[in-house]
Structure 1
Amino acid sequence: MAASVTAALLIIGDEILSGRTKDKNIGYVAEYLTGIGIDLREVRIVPDEEEEIVAAVNALRSRYTYLFTTGGIGPTHDDITADAVAKAFGVGIRHDPRAVAMLQERYPPHELNEARMRMARIPDGADLIDNPISKAPGFRIGNVFVMAGVPAIMQVMLDAIGPTLETGDRMISRIVEAEGLAEGHYAEGLAAIAAAEGRVSIGSYPSFSASGFRNQIVVRGKDAAAVDATVHAIRELLGRLRGDRNPL
């Protein structure tokens, strides 16, 4: 069996659920983790409510190798992620001297007010995640990584923690173009191929453009031989359906 390291992503924020802010982090995190050999298995979005955050953190951190969170670590009253994570782990939270020093690099003393000092409140026992953009750090506690919601800051935090992560075998992804065939034509045969090969996942993804429908079949797996065999079987299926003399 291929080694598997799994992860979940928890998006925190009323503004995401209301539609006011369009999330840009899910796709980035998914692609980043896939690229280094971590399987993103679940994404949740919760409001800025302590009970909801605590419940989600405890459920996801116990289910997966890693949990990544974004959002809710700023200076305003509704930025409650750090407090909720501390509660989930049953630890205290305080102004961390290391985080205070980071903020002091950015703000002169007269601008480092009570609101900004909220960004230095870190759960006891947590390690800090560097933030070279705005200095306010994220943190890691246990298998949970707490990052900013601002995409540019989240991305540099992810770059900082990436080298510290345990990784598994990388996912192999192959695309087969189902040119000239609608999904209804190949669905039954594709299901049979999927049932016969349990080491890969197969998805069919239609799209529409000015030139008409385009169907792509994507084969994903960690066993190269299984992926290649499945791609071969799919091409044979499509060729038969088109009546190709040489389906390959």
Structure 2
Amino acid sequence: MPETVTAAILVIGDEILSGRTKDKNIGYIAEYLTAIGIDTKEVRVVPDEEDEIVAALNTLRAKFNYVFTTGGIGPTHDDITADAVAKAFGVSIDVDPRARALLLERIPEKDLNEARLRMARIPAGADIVENSVSKAPGFMLGNVITMAGVPAIMQVMLDAVAPKLKTGAKMLQVTIEAAGLKEGDIGTPYGVIAKAHPGVIMGSYPMMNDKGFYTRLVLRAKDPALLAPAEAAVTAMVAAYKPAGSEILITRGA
């Protein structure tokens, strides 16, 4: 089977859990990782509490190839992610000369106060993850990549770290649709096909457009030799159950 590289996303912040801030990073990261050959297997959201962050980090980094964190690396008292990562790895943390130099590219020396210097505190042994938007960096320690929570900044950090990551085989996808085909019409035969093709991830999604209800069947696998026979079986099943006169639409890709 093609090699699989796995990841988890750890979202950190009371504001996410309270609903004050709507997360815009999980979907972006998951889609990005899928495109480069990394499978997102788990997502967690934890509050700004050190013990909760440390516990989640230690569980996830032992379970997956990579852990991507977002949030909690700003200049305020509740930005404690860097400290939590250092504690999880059992290393010290202090103002890093590399991070300080990056901040000085945007902030005058006279304005580099205690609060702003918090953004230059990096756990010992970590690599810098550059931030071309505001210069305050993220970092990578072991298999943990720590990024900002602001979407625009997180995205450039992800671009910066991606070339350093190990990747596996990319996921292949086939989508099959037919107008008027409802989930209840094909639930049983679709389940039989899924059972016969255990190496293929098969999903079913009820949809609606201006012509009415239809069902989107999505087949995903990393091995084209597994995906092709499953596609053929599902296409034949859809042809047998679809309303007369409706066409089958097949698309390949994300």
- Change in 2 beyond 3 A, CA 1:109/1:183: same
Q: Does 1:94 align with 2:94?
A: yes
CA distance in 1, matches of 2:142, 2:126: 8
Deviations 1:99-150 (A, max 9, x none): 1111111111221111111001111111110111111000000000000011
- Change in 2 beyond 3 A, CA 1:132/1:77: same
**Percent identity of equivalent pairs:** 60
Unaligned runs of 5+ in 2: 249-254
TM-score if structure 2 supplies the norm length?
0.94
Aligned to 2:153: 153
CA distance in 1, matches of 2:214, 2:144: 40
The one-letter amino acid of 1:101's match is A
Aligned to 1:110: 110
- Change in 2 beyond 3 A, CA 1:79/1:243: closer
SS across alignment from 2:179: coil
Q: How does 1:1-248 map to 2 (within 5 A)?
A: 1-242=1-242
CA distance in 2, matches of 1:156, 1:40: 19
Paired residue total: 248
SS across alignment from 1:139: strand
TM-score if structure 1 supplies the norm length?
0.96
Shift of 1:212: 2.6
Instruction: Please identify, of 175-184 and 205-214, the stretch whose mean Cα deviation from structure 2 is larger.
Output: 205-214
SS across alignment from 2:204: strand
Shift of 1:190: 0.8
SS across alignment from 2:175: strand
RMSD of Structure 2 on Structure 1 (CA):
1.6
CA distance in 2, matches of 1:140, 1:223: 31
CA distance in 1, matches of 2:239, 2:207: 21
CA distance in 1, matches of 2:238, 2:33: 32
User: Contact 2:70/2:146 (CA < 8 Å) preserved in 1?
Assistant: yes
Shift of 1:5: 0.5
Shift of 1:180: 1.3
User: Contact 2:197/2:230 (CA < 8 Å) preserved in 1?
Assistant: yes
Instruction: Please identify, of 142-151 and 233-242, the stretch whose mean Cα deviation from structure 2 is larger.
Output: 233-242
CA distance in 1, matches of 2:215, 2:16: 31
